Amino acid sequence: MKKIGVAILGLGVVGGGAYKILTEHREFYKKNHNLDISVEGVIERNRERALSLGIEESKIASNIAEICSNSEIDIVVETLGGIEPAKSYVLASLNSGKSVVTSNKELYCKYSHELEAVAKKNGCGLYFEATCVGGVPVIRTLLDSLQGNKISSLTGIINGTTNYILTKMTDCGASYEDVLKEAQKLGYAEANPTSDVEGFDAVYKLSILSSISFHTKIPYTEIYREGITGVDPADIRCGKQLGYVMKLLAIGKSGENGIEVRVHPAFVKSSHPLASVNDSYNAVYLTGDGVEDVMLYGRGAGALPTGSAIVADIIYCATHQGDNYSTFKNTEKAAPNTKFIKNFESQYYLRLSVKDKTGTLSKIMSQFSKHGIGISEVMQEKAADGKVPLMLLTHTTFENEVKKLVEEINASKEAAEVLSVIRVVS
């Protein structure tokens, strides 16, 4: 029986979940994995919280040096979040020869090159399954199961808070503000929800996932980002009628012309497997040249699901040798000559308010065709106050053309006004 000592830095939701799983399954892991995993140290500012979880007083360390010098500890779990002191703690742990398991997406996204170099230097493992999509094993799948494929695209619903909010807005027709308040009450959204609702969280995760998928570091600064704060329930309703569901998508594509990476609200065809990923569930839809399409679905957050990913990494680390997961090849930047496509192609949904006057529609249509934008579907609602609500779905076209078109129409606002533009994934 192999003995494995673990330290947990930060007993918040994820750290607490990992602690609970490890302690409750100790006999199970002895029996089935031949591993005796024990928590030998923690760092937690809130002493009471640590004690209430049943952690012995003597195992609560006052500083990272105590963890690093404790020879009973083999693996350090970092679940503090944020950059400091997490980064210093991780580096100190690696420099003292301990492998690290982290759930910290911001830290890993921004400093993986630095952490991986130090891990490599010290011959330690560095594992980060818990940084993305909770208990859903996307990272391991990319590294150990789809690694024979050229991945051409990944499309993910990878933030639980925004998916919860959009699902409720879809189900009840409520406004963003009202649903956010409810989500905060229920603990699905934080008091300061910016990181989730503005798409930063999804951007960090997409940076990590697309870096692995496309075999080059994708700096998060290259990722186009648009959150859900501006989503209008009217569009959700119109989309529904056209057979689409609104989701905050993280999209990564790699092809001959380069790489495109973006996070924004989008309409998904209701028959697409991603369309039925609701509430706080998450999913990642991957396309590879061998495997074709694969979707991984599950809980994208929460104490036990994310704790499950932490524990998976601990057991993997304890049972595998020489796997340092230096996947991004320790670079800070993308490989030389990597081209990022900003003027990407997509289908679009546009909602316009059009003057109820003969000839207006044909004038608008001619503006579309001037920009080479084909229209695949039109839905018109009843006029009110001399204005006709008009919804259009375009064929695949360039982002910049759509932007120019919208600017042009909205410059005069004489014949019509574009109220919303939403990208469409079919």
The answer to whether residue 294 forms part of the interface with a second copy (CB under 8 A) is yes
287 token code pair: 């396309």
Residue 233 binds a second copy (CB under 8 A): no
Query: Which range in 54-62, 84-92, 160-168, 313-321 contacts a second copy by CB under 8 A?
Result: 313-321
Number of continuous H segments (helices) and E segments (strands) in the chain? 15, 16
Site for a second copy in 319-338 (CB under 8 A): 319-323
Rounded Cα distance, 110 and 112, in Å? 6
Q: Considering only 4-12, 46-54, 93-101, 304-312, which stretch makes contact with a second copy by CB under 8 A?
A: 304-312
Distance between CA 294 and CA 280 in Å, rounded?
Answer: 20
Name the residue nearer to a second copy (CB basis): 54 or 374: 54
- Show the tokens assigned to 193: 């929800």
- For a second copy, the closer of residues 63 and 270 by Cβ is 270
> Does 77 engage in binding with a second copy (CB under 8 A)?
no
Point out the catalytic residue in the list 98, 110, 205, 253. 205
Q: Which residue, 295 or 415, has its beta carbon nearer to a second copy? A: 295
Query: Shortest Cβ distance from residue 43 to a second copy (Å)?
Result: 22
Identify the residue among 191, 292, 358, 362 touching a second copy (CB under 8 A): 292
For residue 395, the surrounding DSSP H or E stretch is none
Phi, psi (rounded to 5 degrees) for 93? -65, -45
Q: Quick check: is 30 catalytic?
A: no
Q: Which of residues 119-178 bind a second copy (CB under 8 A)?
A: 129, 134-137, 140-141, 144-150
Q: How many CB atoms lie within 10 A of CB 34?
A: 11
Question: Nearer to a second copy by C-beta: 122 or 216?
Answer: 216
Residues 6+ apart with CB under 8 A from 92: 64, 65, 67, 68
Contact status: 28 vs a second copy (CB under 8 A) = yes
Nearest-5° Cα angle at 282, 259 to 44: 100
Looking at 320-349, list the stretches that DSSP marks H as alpha helix, in order from N- to C-terminal side: none
Burial 332-355, CB ≥16 within 10 A → b, else e? eebeeebeebeebebbbbbbbbbb
Q: Which residues are catalytic?
A: 205
Residues that bind a second copy (CB under 8 A): 17, 21, 25, 28-29, 31-33, 129, 134-137, 140-141, 144-150, 215, 271, 273, 276, 288-299, 302, 304-305, 307-309, 311-312, 314-316, 319-323
